[in-house]
Structure 1
Amino acid sequence: MSLFEPANAQRLDQDVVEQAMLWMVTLQSGVCSEAEHQACYNWRKQSPAHEMAWQRLTGLNRDVRESTHLLAPEGARSLLRARNTTSRRTLLKGFAGLGLVMAAGVGVRERVLLPELFSDYRTATGERRRIYLADGVGLTLDTHTALDTQATATGIDLTLNLGRVLLTCAVPAHITLNTIHGRVQPTTPARLIVSQGLPDLPGTQVQMLAGSASLELTRGGRISLEAGQQLTVDSHGAGQSSQVTAASQAWLNGLLIADRMPLAHVIGQLNRYRRGVLRCDPAVAALQVSGSFSIDQPDASLDLLARVLPIRVQRVFGYWANVVPA
């Protein structure tokens, strides 16, 4: 039977698929006990659907194994124990994304899994969320964003742990937004986007849409940003400032605007909004893409890409998807 489910193949219940995925990452974690091996075997024998889901996932074993081996045994053990208190989907998304996160140089446990579970405000896959902290002070959280808030004697202290947030300060207020690379203090009124840990973004990016702000770097030094400027800061310091483009705000309206953007970058962005795992074959990664794509309907965007580019999309249970040459 083919790994990639054909149109006439027997469809499997999504819960069964997710159970099979969780058993697979458990067995490949390096901290699996003999009892868990036996429990997995017993689960597979409970019904033909269980065994079918397991066999179809066998071809994906290598990807899962390579991802889970990036996590230290202690971290894997803690994450697997969390199965009783968090959703299977959250765990699977976390495990499947380990390779991408580690490649970006971000510590998985501190920068991805824990913030998404324990931050004051967080968004799920495909979710955007508006929050009003005070009169005239609001936030819009992009998908996979985790943020902490703390009231201080002088104002509001924010910490962006992961993701992207639009901060709007319409009235005079003392607001500080902390990131791993620096502290942003807008001069109100102001409107700005701060991003951290996004695909193809090595560091923290501050985009001033209106007003101005002061950026105090973790490594030392202070930089001023005016309306229309954007700046990226990483562990080595700050890069050169550039102009904010209209495309930078497209996510607020559910869109991704590409202007000769590599396909791998487009797929990386859509992966943030799509439940499951989305991969791009290196053979087509450099294809140039221009156009407007829905992030609210990422699978429809994938189908559109397949119509205009020499690619095709292979789907596994509707959860795993690979973009490969046509």
Structure 2
Amino acid sequence: MSAVSARVLDAAIEWQLRLDSGSVSAEQQHAFAAWLAAHPEHARVWQQLNGLDIRLASAAAAPARQALLHSARSTRRRRLAGSALGLLLSSALLLGLLGQQRPLDDYLADVRTGRGEQRELQLHDHSRIRLNSRSAMDIEFSDTQRAVRLHSGEILVETAHGDPRPFVVLTEQGSLRALGTRFLVRREGDSTRLTVLQSAVAAHPLDGASERIIQAGEQVLMQRQQLDRVHAAPLSAAAWSHGMLVAENLRLEDLLDALGEYRSGYLGLDPRLADLRISGSFPLYDSDKALAALPPSLPVRIERVGNWWARVVPAVQ
């Protein structure tokens, strides 16, 4: 699939957020229809995003679903006693506090974001960087180069034109030199993931012999010694910068982990449901709405205690 322009993808996500708001006028509906019909690329991007047409990836999930239903019917969930519930809530709060812990380098970084926070900066050269949740970076501009050092998390970089100094993103795994305007960099354990949205980026592993040019619409995982195989970039890679999470055959556990980054309180999952697969679009900043949008075909229900505790459990107990 050829790469789509950032302008079209941004417009599609903005339309999706607007249509999902529940307060769309007839005039706006006509405007959306006109936008959709204006160019084949608009329809292709919209179809890829799927709106909120969330579906279960049945081929991958059917075995897990059958095993889950069989297990669920053979057991019954007992009611929690008041004291046990209190202990559970206290444990959940403690786990939430432990989840806030970060490496010391993050706290000493020039710029950082907290759990569920995004932040956009304009640098001295007019380049723009957006930090995702729990991200930390240093700004290291000099007379010879413009550099930022990503310690953790993820950033969306849009480089400015007109400055002769190279623009480089540095991580423990190597350097990423911008040859264009727009790309994503995410720390993943002992690796760094590069996703190029526009133009190109030169990736050079720290202990590697040479660099490789990664083009728009491609992504690659960089380790200290080498670059992995180049893959097509997900269409929705930058959706988080618009407050959206677009899942493409994602494990339910991974979906809830991502939503949990933006939720105040506890969001849990019965382990038997972890490998169910789901596709669709979810609002990052409204996890209750995202949970309510889980498709009826999933054998799940939501347990709640007030506004601060939620858990996805099997529908049949």
- Give the Å deviation of 1:270: 0.9
Pairing 1:58–2:87 present: yes
Gaps in structure 1 of 5+ consecutive residues: 1-52, 66-91, 99-111
Structure-2 residue corresponding to 1:48? none
Greater CA drift, 245-254 or 53-62: 53-62
* Aligned residue type for 2:196: M
Is 1:318 the equivalent of 2:310?
A: no
How far the C-alpha of 1:160 sits from its partner, in A, is 0.8
Which residue matches 2:275?
286
Alpha-carbon separation, structure 2, partners of 1:116 and 1:273: 19
Distance 1:57 1:178, change over 3 A: farther
The equivalent position to 2:147 in structure 1, one of 134, 145, 157, is 157
Query: More displaced, 157-166 or 115-124?
Result: 115-124
Match of 1:193 among 184, 201, 205: 184
Contact 2:219 2:231 in 1 (8 A): yes
Instruction: Pick 1 or 2: higher relative contact order, CA cutoff 8 A, min separation 6.
Output: 2
For residues 236 and 324 of structure 1, the distance between their equivalents in structure 2, rounded to whole angstroms, comes to 42
1:177 matched residue in structure 2? 169
Moved more, 141-150 or 313-322: 313-322
Please say if residues 197 and 216 of structure 2, whose CA atoms lie closer than 8 Å, have aligned partners that are also in contact. yes
SS at match of 1:270: helix
Q: Counterparts of 1:231-250 in structure 2 under 5 Å?
A: 231-234=220-223, 237-250=226-239
Give the Cα separation in 2 of the matches to 1:128 and 1:297: 15
Trace 1:1-326 onto structure 2 (pairs within 5 A): 56-59=85-88, 93=96, 95-96=98-99, 112-173=102-163, 174-187=166-179, 189-197=180-188, 203-221=191-209, 222-234=211-223, 237-305=226-294, 307=296, 309-326=298-315
- Distance in 2, Cα, partners of 1:156 & 1:57: 52
Cα root mean square deviation, aligned:
2.8
Preserved contact between residue 138 and residue 148 of structure 2 (Cα < 8 Å): yes
Paired AA for residue 196 in structure 1: R
Specify every segment of 5 or more residues in structure 2 that has no aligned partner in the other structure, as ranges: 1-81
**Amino acid in the other structure paired with 1:206:** L
Q: Percent identity of the aligned residues?
A: 27
TM-score when normalising by structure 2:
0.65
Distance 2:91 2:145 in 1: 49
On the 8 A contact 1:251/1:295 being kept in 2, the answer is yes
Q: Report how many residues are paired.
A: 232
